[in-house]
Structure 1
Amino acid sequence: MMNTELVLWVSLAIGLLFGISGQLSGFCFYRGLTERWSGRSGYKLQGFALALAVALAGTQLAAGYGLISLDKALYLNPTFSWLLVPLGGVLFGAGMTLANGCGARALVLLGQGNLRSFVVLLCLGITAYITLTGLLAPLRISVAQATSVTLPAVTLSEGPIRSIVIALIVAALIAFALRRRQDGQRLNDLLAGALIGLLIVAGWLTTGWLGDDPFEPLPVSSLSFVAPIGESIQYAMISTGMSPRFTILIVVGVVVGSLLSALLRRRWKLEGFESPRHILRSMAGGALMGVGGVLALGCTIGQGLSGLSTLSATSLLAVLGIIVGARLTWTRPTA
């Protein structure tokens, strides 16, 4: 029991730090992409690259030293749908564009008073569970079974070659992250990226090491923000029939951390919609992210950081789909 309680407290702390960091820095993969596509200055994408470098290095070190076992991680399942994973990524990317940010960013914005994000999160969480276990689940399962493939067992075994490959990937990400561009909050974005990368590692350690209890085993996972948002909504409605868990405490922590940071910085402000069209756009964005995130098995944090930190080929496919979906939907702002 004590171990379970400790896991929950650590999960809350991870969420709090993520929320504070996100509120201070505006950490967001989508914002990084749009900075690049529009030619604006900024280091959001480089901050994300540094987060991935830290997450990859830390996760692989933890696994290499036997602190965690990634064998049962969702992202390393060799069987996946060749159709639904990239399609889900495209849908998520399109929804991310319509909602002007991913689920993690919406949680941070909600903490600082953005009511548009509340609508996005409701639509995201509800449609995620409709797709995962609700009305759309039978169709999803049928299509997944019909389009499933199993990757050949081509993996980098433990040893010098694997270490060199990981080191080269991490070095390339760091080189990109540290490359100077135009003016922007370089240090702020890079520090936030490094911290969030460490939080990904902390997530793996929390579930795979601290929560490694033979009597009450936890799924080995790290941060993700699609199904967990749906779980949190469900818990808010039927908490007497559910137990708090790692994913729910992460979501709660992000909102509370962002709220505390916004209040201390006097940045908390209620914000609403500009028009009915804006409401529909946010609802559509949340719904597409909910459906797409379930099909793609994760989001920009779940697949983009947690998944890629395991060197999962499925995660890479999902992230490429997210980028494609965002690019197809994004339009250059008019002057």
Structure 2
Amino acid sequence: MESSAQLVILAGLAIGLVYGAVGLLSGFCLMSSMRGFLAEGDGRLVRTYALAMAVAIAASQFLAASGTVDLGKSIYLQQAFSAPALFLGGLLFGYGMVLSNGCGSRALVLLGRGNLRSFVVVIVLAIAAQMTLKGLIAPARIALVQASQTTVSANSLPALLSAFGLGDAASRTLAAVVIATALALFAFAHAAFRRSPGQIAAGAIVGLLVTAGWYVTGFLGADDFNPVPVTSLTFIAPIADALQYAMLSTGLTLNFGIATVAGVFAGSLVTALATGRFQLEGYSSPRHMLRSAGGAALMGIAGVMAFGCSIGQGLTGLSTLALASSVAVAGILLGTSAGLRGALRVQPLKTAAEAGSPSAKATPQPSSRF
């Protein structure tokens, strides 16, 4: 293995370690954010996510503007993409996220804390994603994409602004500044969020981790003879690859995504043990397990269709200001909202202790705060 590839893997492991620790301590999760915002009246977590998005956009676009990283080499800025597949994938992913009570990255974090439900989610998600990438479901996915993809001249917001006569540098700066500022204002307009330094730190750190991923793969990994894919934090394909690597390591090669997955689990585990948060937890009923596994399968299939998850598209994809990512994220938000409110709302399951109580509440969500 070349030294640049080794450096990328070590850096991916370090990024994952930090993400795992921050995710455990802060409860960083899009689904939890939207549940608090839509159902519980607590808007702090959604502001944390918005701040992470603002930091990721501003810092990533700075790297691109300085010529340090070519974001155009990422999967998010392709000239041809299928908007229907991206939106449908995002929609189903968001709903599956509610069924499983969290996305793939959150499942890794909770697994490190001893949540055995998350073990089922991670395994089922990995299998379903691999089936969609290369297995039985792959032909149907490819046929859908080929039948509905279109080629666009402007694949990002800066490119769209350039089409109206703005220069490339001005278009990139204007788009990044406006969107990042709007997201930051949304975050800090909330008084409770301003009084939560831990949540502010979590949002800033996660946003910088996305940028670090771009720097590691796009700059440190830019070897003319052995280049690595330009990417950053994302969890659907990497979780699938990590499971395959665990089974067939002698025939496969470590990469940034696999190292990040391992780092997230390890970072959460070490943090949980160090802070006394480690506790084994399981399912309350067979129905609970079935719903969780079904949501994980839906996330694995849909995450591949959408080219990413709530982190892979919601933060990493949007940090490139790709129009395709906006389509996928719109689907994720709509699917999550449908699962949390309205006629398609996923009903909360009772715990074993609450099963006989007429006033039973939803199963408590294990989301610690700074």
Q: What is the TM-score when the length of structure 2 is the normalising length?
A: 0.88
Specify the SS of the correspondent of 1:159: helix
> What is the CA–CA distance in structure 2 between the aligned matches of 1:39 and 1:266, rounded to whole Å?
27
Alignment of 1:111-260 (within 5 A): 111-153=112-154, 154-155=159-160, 156=162, 157-182=167-192, 186-260=196-270
- Identity rate of aligned residues, in percent? 47
Larger mean CA deviation between 156-165 and 23-32 belongs to 156-165
Q: How far did 1:177 drift? A: 1.0
> What is the CA–CA distance in structure 1 between the aligned matches of 2:172 and 2:192, rounded to whole Å?
35
Q: How far did 1:269 drift? A: 0.5
Q: How far did 1:149 drift? A: 1.1
Q: Cα RMSD over matched residues?
A: 1.5
Q: How far did 1:184 drift? A: 9.2
> What is the CA–CA distance in structure 2 between the aligned matches of 1:137 and 1:3, rounded to whole Å?
32
Q: How far did 1:244 drift? A: 1.0
User: Does the C-alpha gap of structure 1 residues 114 and 128 become closer, same or farther in structure 2, counting only changes over 3 Å?
Assistant: same
Q: How far did 1:186 drift? A: 2.2
The answer to whether the 8 Å contact 2:94/2:331 transfers is yes
> What is the CA–CA distance in structure 2 between the aligned matches of 1:165 and 1:183, rounded to whole Å?
25
Larger mean CA deviation between 147-156 and 211-220 belongs to 147-156
Q: Return 5+ residue gaps in structure 2 as ranges.
A: 349-359, 362-370
The answer to whether the 8 Å contact 1:127/1:290 transfers is yes
Q: What is the TM-score when the length of structure 1 is the normalising length?
A: 0.97
Alignment of 1:1-335 (within 5 A): 1-153=2-154, 154-155=159-160, 156=162, 157-182=167-192, 186-330=196-340, 331=345
Q: Which has the larger radius of gyration?
A: 2
The answer to whether the 8 Å contact 1:87/1:292 transfers is yes
Q: How far did 1:181 drift? A: 4.2
Query: In the alignment, residue 69 of structure 1 is paired with which amino acid?
Result: D
Query: In the alignment, residue 243 of structure 1 is paired with which amino acid?
Result: T
Specify the SS of the correspondent of 2:98: helix
Deviation string for 1:139-198 (max 9, x for gaps)?
111111111112233434422343123211111111111112458972211211100000
Q: Return 5+ residue gaps in structure 1 as ranges.
A: none
> What is the CA–CA distance in structure 2 between the aligned matches of 1:127 and 1:222, rounded to whole Å?
22
The answer to whether the 8 Å contact 1:41/1:183 transfers is no
> What is the CA–CA distance in structure 2 between the aligned matches of 1:275 and 1:241, rounded to whole Å?
39
